[in-house]
Amino acid sequence: MGEAPLLEVDGIRKAFGGVLAVDGASFTVEAGTVTALIGPNGAGKSTAVGIIGGALAADEGRVGFRGDEITGLAPHRIARRGLIRTFQISREYPAMTVLENLMVSPMNQEGEKLATALLAHRRYRKQERELVLKALDVLADFGLYGMRDEYARNLSGGQKRLLELARSVMADPVMLILDEPMAGINPALVSHIGEHILRLREAGVSFLMVEHNLEVVERICDHVIVLAVGRTLARGTMAELRQNEAVVNAYLTGGGVDAGTAR
């Protein structure tokens, strides 16, 4: 038998006011891959990742991660297991500097414990110095080192996307869920973020990425899962999905993606 999937989503359902946003979607994500979750607007993609990350409670179904069930766990408990989610709209701390934004991401910091902060100054000061050095290295890697003392609110939209990805890396993720990471940013930064995702994959981080930019999906994703009206419609490579009539029809009739990109 092969290795079990890193992430398993089995029959999840979620209704809002009687309208099914996700209707029995099931799919898996393998370790060491970048997997895209695509589909027209209203397909249930963001609802699905909200359930996976713990921000939404599923009405039915289960989610497994690294062999353990995480259905219904709070987001911070899921994050502690190594599954980190970003959002469609960047959620930086605007009144904190870029460096400070990274410093709040690592979990289980000694300085967060009252007893350590009061009685074990050396231990948490040592950890703090190590985290500063790590954060500076990450900022340099993401091209944000020169903005380390800038308030996060002053960054451009694309820079905020980079900051959110860098902040996620500080939490030492096993898997990252990215919700439309390329939305609203210029082509140069789209390419830059794509390169970072590929380098992180090579470093052992797995990805589930909601994305409408099919050129990006084709360039950096190993597998593609298609949702339509809350259900899993197909899975494969972009080349395979272009030949799938049901996928093409879902894009052409479902809206949210230009018909030309679905060919």
Can you list the domains of the chain with their CATH numbers? Answer: 7-92+173-262 (3.40.50.300), 94-154 (no CATH)
pLDDT higher than threshold 60 for residue 114: no
Contacts of 248 (CB under 8 A, 6+ apart): 242, 262, 263
Q: What is the DSSP letter of 258?
A: -
**Strand segments (E) across the chain:** 7-16, 19-29, 34-38, 60-65, 68-69, 83-85, 175-179, 206-210, 223-228, 231-236
pTM of structure:
0.84
155 exposed, middle or buried (CB, 10 Å; 0-12, 13-18, 19+)?
Answer: buried
Q: What is the DSSP letter of 106?
A: S
Provide mean pLDDT across the span 183-199. 88
| Amino acid, res. 142 | F
pLDDT of residue 66: 96
pLDDT higher than threshold 70 for residue 259: no
Q: If we measure between CA atoms, which residue out of 170, 168, 169, 53 comes closest to residue 106?
A: 170
Contacts of 19 (CB under 8 A, 6+ apart): none
Q: What is the DSSP letter of 97?
A: B
pLDDT of residue 115: 52
How large is the C-alpha radius of gyration of the chain? 19
Q: Which residue has the tokens 């959002």?
A: 87
Buried b (16+ CB within 10 A) or exposed e, 198-225: eebbeeebbbbbbbbbbebbbebbebbb
Q: What angle do CA 226, 229, 235 make, to 5 degrees?
A: 15
Whole-number Å distance between alpha carbons of 61 and 231: 13
Q: What is the DSSP letter of 4?
A: P
Residue 210, strand partner residues:
37, 179
pLDDT higher than threshold 90 for residue 127: no
pLDDT of residue 263: 28
Conformational region of residue 178, where left means phi above 0, alpha means psi within -120 to 50, and beta covers everything else: beta
Taken in order 21, 27, 31, 32, is the CA torsion positive or negative?
Answer: negative
pLDDT of residue 120: 53
Neighbours of 44 (CB within 10 A): 25
**For residue 102, what pLDDT band results from cuts at 50, 70 and 90?**
very high
